[in-house]
Chain A
Amino acid sequence: QKEVEQNSGPLSVPEGAIASLNCTYSDRGSQSFFWYRQYSGKSPELIMFIYSNGDKEDGRFTAQLNKASQYVSLLIRDSQPSDSATYLCAVKTGNQFYFGTGTSLTVIP
């Protein structure tokens, strides 16, 4: 079983819609959770992180964490074409960071 699993997509949403990206992880001892955005041919850039159960909002982005279900999600409100990218979920377990394979998002104008 992979440490971090994501739907590879592609996920397509119209401009202005809400994009919902999901991630599950296998280790209940995982402490912190991160969402990265990676444009094609570029390196990952951090969008936000979450440590505690519940929601965390930052502008158009909301991260949601449910440790009981071992589930973390990212909502992007008012999606823009510039949000088209691959979104990577990363989980910190002990000293290790584990990345999912990413979900490809396309926002259609």
Chain B
Amino acid sequence: EAGVAQSPRYKIIEKRQSVAFWCNPISGHATLYWYQQILGQGPKLLIQFQNNGVVDDSQLPKDRFSAERLKGVDSTLKIQPAKLEDSAVYLCASRNAYNEQFFGPGTRLTVL
């Protein structure tokens, strides 16, 4: 069974630029999560999708972050404009029926 796919793996941008991350969850997993993990901290949930609907986006900084999952499979997370404090690893995870989350390899974002 293929795991969660993410791209790109690394991205370096300057502040005020925009960036987008892509995630393809494990086949059949209806629930998809985006997390932000700052160095030395645990993952922080940004947004949760159930199929193509948003379940929870209470911790998503909506003035600069947006996410979509149009067909209930792939998802994209966008940051526009980026700030220095957005430097982190962005993790996508999908969940099975037993509440087990499986993480993708992550995208390491550096904002200069």
Q: Which residues of A contact B (CB under 8 A)?
A: 4, 32, 34, 42-46, 49, 88, 90, 92, 95-102
Contacts and interface: CB of A to CB of B under 8 A. Distances in A.
Interface of B: 33, 35, 40-45, 48, 55-56, 89, 91, 98-106
Most-contacted residue by chain B among A43, A45, A99 (CB, 10 A): A43
Chain B at the A interface: SS class: strand
Chain A at the B interface: SS class: strand
A43 B100 CA distance: 15
Most-contacted residue by chain A among B42, B56, B104 (CB, 10 A): B42
The 4 closest A-B pairs by CB, nearest first: A99-B42, A43-B103, A99-B43, A101-B42
Contact of B48 (A43, A90, A95, A102): A95
A102 B42 CA distance: 6
